[in-house]
Structure 1
Amino acid sequence: MRSMRFERVFVRASAACVGPMEGAGPLGKHFDHVSADLYDGEDSFEKAEIAWVKRACDRTLRKAGMVPSQLEGAIGGDLMNQLLATHYFARSLSAPFIGVYAACATSSLAMGMAALCIEQQQTRNMLVVTSSHNATAERQYRFPNEYGVQKKETTTTTVSAGTGVLLSDARTQIQVSGCTLGRIIDWHFSDASDMGTAMAPAAFDTLMRHLSLTKTSLSDYDQILTGDLSAAGFALFKDLLQQQGYASLEMLDDCGLLIYDRLRQPVFCGGSGSACAMCVTIAHVFEQMRTGQLDRVLVIATGALLSPVATFQKQSIPCIAHAIEYRRREA
């Protein structure tokens, strides 16, 4: 499959509503709302995640000067079974809806599919939603936080947030210029407490394919962000590039390392989760593109497609990474 190129897809508005740990991180002042705790006024963590998505999308539409009835379509996903947070949010929408799942790579998959709908002139606008919650993810994939299970240093911290991005064919400063879909890569890692290392080969594969398909080089981008590798996985990712002869890697960074301050926050290796890459895209990439600090950015969201059932059966962790390219344009 070729890398998809887009000419008529732009970011009209976006918003990110986060939990307290994310609000206390380096990007905290750029988020639209920071909750005081992981419940956000609700009586369960799952309901709190739904509330974050609702608030993020409400603020996104308000920024765009739109009401829900003007939406022509929406697409998104989260980490819970049957896309719980996304589907329960979407039941209040009147627009056609598509639920997608690629674990922590869901944001890039949703952005790419929404952009394709607009580029093919099937719709004039699409709302993209993603969310994750530290407590809901731990309860589903490992152990509830309330158990106090000791964690490994390679553990990543699931980002607690809900995000919304409105894409449209109306020209703005931020263009979604391309998407390279990833392949499932499995190097037979099986440690659910070290998903960054498991996902690194998938990020490497997608980046190499993107550069080849688009005939670009690392230096063509102001910044290339992986989504959820954090410290352990990002180190392997850079090592794989150096083995291929890439020496200058200063444009590389990871969303899981940007969203937290590992020196003062207890986040182990850094951040992960389906909201991680999108939170950093909204609060860091979009902000700096609007001010002219970044002109061309590649975001490669990474996902570990593990299942608790497969983990209990001693299966390895298949992974995937999807790349979205953004370019700054004159509005």
Structure 2
Amino acid sequence: MILTLNGDELKMNLKRVGNQTMVFANPPVILASYSVVGPKEGQGPLGQSFHTVWEDGLHGEKSWEVAESKMLQAAMQGAIDQISFPKEQIDFMLAGDLLNQIISANYAARQLALPFIGIYGACSTMALGMALGSMLIDGGFARNVLVGASSHHDTAERQYRLPTEQGAQRAMSSQWTVTGAGSVLLGQFGQGPRITSATIGRVIDYAIKDVNNMGAAMAPAVADTILNHFLDMQLKPADYNLIASGDLGRIGLGLACELLKQSGMDIGTSFTDCGVMIYDESQDVHSGASGCGCSAVVFAGDIMQRIKAGELKKVMLVGSGALHSPTSALQGESIPGIGHAVVIEG
């Protein structure tokens, strides 16, 4: 690309491919990952893949909000401790959550005392953090970056819906917010899977207003990001062992598949959703799981284990987010969706 500035030509070597995708010249390494979950998540089909399972949602704290922040802190410290990494060599901490002003991440950052960049992408926060962390490292602005995200069933219910002690009836299209926090430590050098590319999504709004059907609101954005990734990279779904959206749930996953089909793409059998993977039907979560912690713990636990074991060679994680708030929902606004993708190669 050539820019003209005051008559002079300035040449730039962009690392972008197509409209929305970045290909990293020096792909960051995932040096370590760590996951902390609540009891319901530990009882699910992926229970053995998580590093720490809490016995209850409070874990001895005075509130669910304090517990969530402690959970995120534990996950991020866990990634550091897993390989006894020198904390002083971590240049940035990137983290976010679902609570107002991302308080879980803010208070975890207070304890970890690292240079902090708070991020918010709703439930796409983990994939967004991995993409931004990779950009910092590949761009030469950081050597090592710690990335994390969290959610908590009871904090999310209190903020977005109704306090759980009221025992309100949940719609069958609703999803169960994951109580969990996941973290990855990215490095410029080292051994491990590498993040080779990232596709930053566009905000897509199909005028969905039902806050009990997040999957329907997010599915168009996820489908759009997947389509644009393959268009930018000139690849096809068969080139990937696994394509995992963040938390579409069963309804959203089906809708995303249908939208891709209508666009002429056969996504095949490699496409699934972290919100479908983490619970089974016996756990009464209706459409599946949601929350920042959903894709964070599934990736940091199950998917990372399968990559390290050689079962998965090339994975696309597509974080999905519903960009609404309690205020916008009460004012009758629709729910915009976002999807951010990162590609990990073993």
Give the TM bin, normalised by the shorter chain: over 0.9
Match of 1:82 among 98, 101, 115: 101
Residue 130 (1) aligns with residue 149 (2): yes
Cα shift readout 1:56-95 (whole Å, capped 9, x = no counterpart): 1221111121243332111010000011000001012332
Residue 241 (1) aligns with residue 260 (2): yes
Match of 1:180 among 179, 183, 199: 199
Aligned to 1:274: 292
Aligned to 1:213: 232
Hey, what's the Cα distance between the residues in 2 that align with 1:20 and 1:51? 16
Q: Tell whether the 8 Å contact from 2:242 to 2:270 is kept in structure 1 after alignment.
A: yes
Query: Structure 1 residue 248: deviation in Å?
Result: 5.5
Worse-superposed segment, 237-246 or 217-226: 237-246
The SS at the match of 2:332 is coil
Aligned to 2:134: 115
Cα shift readout 1:165-205 (whole Å, capped 9, x = no counterpart): 10001232300111100000000000000000110000000
Residue 317 (1) aligns with residue 335 (2): yes
Pick closer, same or farther for the CA change 1:2–1:185 going to 2, 3 Å: closer
Q: Tell whether the 8 Å contact from 2:173 to 2:251 is kept in structure 1 after alignment.
A: yes
Aligned to 1:303: 321
Q: Tell whether the 8 Å contact from 1:2 to 1:180 is kept in structure 2 after alignment.
A: yes
Q: Give the length in aligned residue pairs.
A: 327
Hey, what's the Cα distance between the residues in 1 that align with 2:88 and 2:111? 11
Hey, what's the Cα distance between the residues in 1 that align with 2:51 and 2:299? 13
Query: Structure 1 residue 278: deviation in Å?
Result: 1.5
1:52-91 residue pairs with structure 2 within 5 A?
52-91=71-110
Q: Tell whether the 8 Å contact from 1:68 to 1:94 is kept in structure 2 after alignment.
A: no
Aligned to 1:145: 164
Query: Structure 1 residue 38: deviation in Å?
Result: 0.7
Hey, what's the Cα distance between the residues in 1 that align with 2:85 and 2:271? 36
Residue 293 (1) aligns with residue 311 (2): yes
TM-score (norm 2): 0.92
Match of 2:175 among 131, 145, 156: 156
Hey, what's the Cα distance between the residues in 1 that align with 2:267 and 2:329? 37
Cα shift readout 1:257-305 (whole Å, capped 9, x = no counterpart): 001112x102111111011112111122211111110100001010001
RMSD, aligned CA? 1.1
Q: Tell whether the 8 Å contact from 2:144 to 2:188 is kept in structure 1 after alignment.
A: yes
Query: Structure 1 residue 155: deviation in Å?
Result: 0.3
Worse-superposed segment, 248-257 or 298-307: 248-257
Aligned to 1:8: 27
Hey, what's the Cα distance between the residues in 1 that align with 2:153 and 2:345? 31
Query: Structure 1 residue 242: deviation in Å?
Result: 1.9
The SS at the match of 2:140 is coil
Q: Tell whether the 8 Å contact from 2:20 to 2:201 is kept in structure 1 after alignment.
A: no
Question: Which one-letter code corresponds to 2:38 in the other structure?
Answer: G
Bigger radius of gyration: 2
Residue 49 (1) aligns with residue 68 (2): yes
Question: Which one-letter code corresponds to 2:326 in the other structure?
Answer: P
Hey, what's the Cα distance between the residues in 2 that align with 1:233 and 1:225? 12
Aligned to 2:274: 255
The SS at the match of 1:287 is helix
Question: Which one-letter code corresponds to 1:54 in the other structure?
Answer: Q
Hey, what's the Cα distance between the residues in 2 that align with 1:54 and 1:309? 28
Cα shift readout 1:93-141 (whole Å, capped 9, x = no counterpart): 3321100001000111111111100001111100001100000011111
Hey, what's the Cα distance between the residues in 2 that align with 1:2 and 1:50? 33
Worse-superposed segment, 238-247 or 135-144: 238-247
Q: Tell whether the 8 Å contact from 2:320 to 2:339 is kept in structure 1 after alignment.
A: yes
Identity over the aligned pairs, expressed in percent? 38
Query: Structure 1 residue 163: deviation in Å?
Result: 1.5
Query: Structure 1 residue 232: deviation in Å?
Result: 0.7
Aligned to 2:246: 227
Query: Structure 1 residue 53: deviation in Å?
Result: 1.1
Hey, what's the Cα distance between the residues in 2 that align with 1:109 and 1:139? 25
Query: Could you list the runs of 5+ residues in structure 1 that have no partner in the other structure?
Result: none
Hey, what's the Cα distance between the residues in 1 that align with 2:225 and 2:262? 16
Hey, what's the Cα distance between the residues in 2 that align with 1:94 and 1:45? 22
Hey, what's the Cα distance between the residues in 1 that align with 2:208 and 2:35? 32
TM-score (norm 1): 0.96
Hey, what's the Cα distance between the residues in 1 that align with 2:121 and 2:244? 17
Question: Which one-letter code corresponds to 2:301 in the other structure?
Answer: A
Query: Could you list the runs of 5+ residues in structure 2 that have no partner in the other structure?
Result: 1-18
Hey, what's the Cα distance between the residues in 2 that align with 1:169 and 1:10? 6
Hey, what's the Cα distance between the residues in 2 that align with 1:254 and 1:238? 11
Hey, what's the Cα distance between the residues in 2 that align with 1:38 and 1:23? 12
Q: Tell whether the 8 Å contact from 2:20 to 2:228 is kept in structure 1 after alignment.
A: no
Hey, what's the Cα distance between the residues in 2 that align with 1:248 and 1:327? 19
